[in-house]
A = this chain, B = another copy of it.
């Protein structure tokens, strides 16, 4: 016995989403079926209108519904420091700290030769143009602490230093609130290497 077509179709579409396996897809579909029809309609519309008016910022390539994003057009944000992140959602992770008052640049990916992602697939040209304007004094490489993020950081550091900007990398170490017992060897080693006077 199979599910009726509309249910099977939805389960199939949900399974394509990241972090949603066959069991979760089934659970979500039946949750929607049990719920009010209006809830499903609202979700359907939210997905269907996701791209409406959405574009990437002409300057930093963050996701925005304006020509220039809220940060790039905010005169209170300093162009002296530019924080480079891989993906639009990484920007929010930095922004949530409320510690950073500079601007961003979103690469939309990280170098990954195995997946065919080279420098040309990333939004690097726009970054160079921005830096050549001379306003920027420091570039913070906030790519992920992964093999790809690290490779991207190394590549960018080599590319950007000749432009005369200070190039920094976010600290890697044991996460706050965690137990040292659970730290993996590489993280622990980075934490030792990055130790500071106390």
Partner of A44, one of B45, B88, B92, B95: B45
Docked CA distance A88–B40 (Å):
18
Q: At the interface, yes or no: A52 with Cβ under 8 Å from chain B?
A: yes
Q: At the interface, yes or no: A64 with Cβ under 8 Å from chain B?
A: yes
Docked CA distance A109–B172 (Å):
49
Partner of A40, one of B39, B48, B63: B48
Please give the count of copies of this chain that the complex contains. 2
Docked CA distance A51–B5 (Å):
10
**Which of A7-15, A123-131, A183-191 has 4 or more CB atoms under 8 Å from chain B?**
A7-15
Q: At the interface, yes or no: A24 with Cβ under 8 Å from chain B?
A: yes
Q: At the interface, yes or no: A114 with Cβ under 8 Å from chain B?
A: no
Chain A interface residues (CB < 8 Å from chain B): 1-7, 9-10, 12-14, 16-20, 24, 26-33, 37, 39-54, 63-65, 69-71, 87-89, 91-92, 95
